[in-house]
Amino acid sequence: DIQMTQSPSSLSASVGDRVTITCRASQGINNYLAWYQEKAGKVPKLLIYGASTLQSGVPSRFSGSGSGTEFTLTISSLQPEDVATYYCQKYYGAPFTFGPGTKVDIK
Amino acid sequence: EVQLVESGGGLVKPGGSLRLSCAASGFTFSRYTMNWVRQAPGKGLEWVSSISISTSYIYYADSVKGRFTVSRDDAKNSLFLQMNSLRAEDAGVYYCVRDLLGIGDSWGQGTLVTVSS
């Protein structure tokens, strides 16, 4: 099975900072990669799919890139409401494995 | 508006069984693959199972294979997860998730499963 890893596991940044999270697949998954945001006590929310397509309604400060085995989620200007845990997930065939998550908070 | 409402969670002893349900509304349920995703307390998200349109294919995570059974009733717009031989590590919130070409685009609020003696 393809394994998904994320780095860092957590980060702390200032409001307005550019934040980048990396997700790696143990084998190539083309661009079958989604990113989800989970705020404390809330249901996970789809942010990006196809590695780089922004889900409707998601602020444009979020962006995704990558293909194959390495992907990134970027928040161009971190906002207080972006405090959350971010997960990548591959959907290139079962099992549809999630990464372990990256916790983002404000410095 | 898409709505997914899970039910059936609760406290069960190790080795016991539980049946989760998910009532769907606001979309044509029969046209979507559906998933179960769980989250253990303080842990990350774990995909559990997928059932396709017309039950053409069904997949399970290795951690639940042979113990859990997913099913759907398109006439009742409902998704189910029969969980047998439950273990402590099965505890957590179970989410019903609508699948759009592999992507979880809508999530229910979740139902809590507690496995303890």
| Residues B28-53: tens digit of each pLDDT | 999 999 999 999 999 999 999 999 99
For B82, other C-beta atoms within 10 Å of its C-beta total: 14
Whole-number percent of chain B with pLDDT over 70? 100
**In terms of C-beta density within 10 A (0-12 exposed, 13-18 middle, 19 or more buried), how is residue B112 classed?**
middle
User: Which of B34, B45, B68 is the best substitution to test chain A (most A C-beta atoms within 10 A)?
Assistant: B45
The DSSP annotation for B21-70 comes to: EEEEESS-GGGSEEEEEEE-TTS-EEEEEEE-GGG--EEE-TTTTTTEEE
> What is the structure's pLDDT at B49?
97
Residues of B in contact with A97 (CB under 8 A): 47
> What is the structure's pLDDT at B8?
97
> What is the structure's pLDDT at A64?
98
Q: Mapping DSSP to helix (H, G, I), strand (E, B) and coil, where does residue B109 land? A: coil
Sign of CA dihedral A9, B43, B90, A69: negative
Q: What share of chain B is helix, strand, coil (3-state, %, to 5)?
A: 10, 55, 35
For A96, other C-beta atoms within 10 Å of its C-beta total: 26
- Contact state of B50 with A46 under an 8 Å Cβ cutoff: no
Q: Mapping DSSP to helix (H, G, I), strand (E, B) and coil, where does residue B89 land? A: helix
Q: Which residues of B touch A (CB under 8 A)?
A: 35, 37, 44-47, 50, 59, 61-62, 95, 101-105, 107-110
> What is the structure's pLDDT at B100?
87
End-to-end CA distance of chain A: 37
Residue of B nearest to A85 (CA): B44
Residue of A nearest to B108 (CA): A43
Which among A1, A34, A101 has the least Cβ separation from residue B103? A34
Residue stretches of chain B with pLDDT short of 70? none
Query: Dihedral through CA B41, CA B61, CA B67, CA A101, nearest 10?
Result: 0
- Contact state of A46 with B46 under an 8 Å Cβ cutoff: no
Residue A59 contacts by C-beta under 8 Å, 6 or more apart in sequence? none
> What is the structure's pLDDT at B16?
98
> What is the structure's pLDDT at B71?
98
Residue stretches of chain A with pLDDT short of 70? none
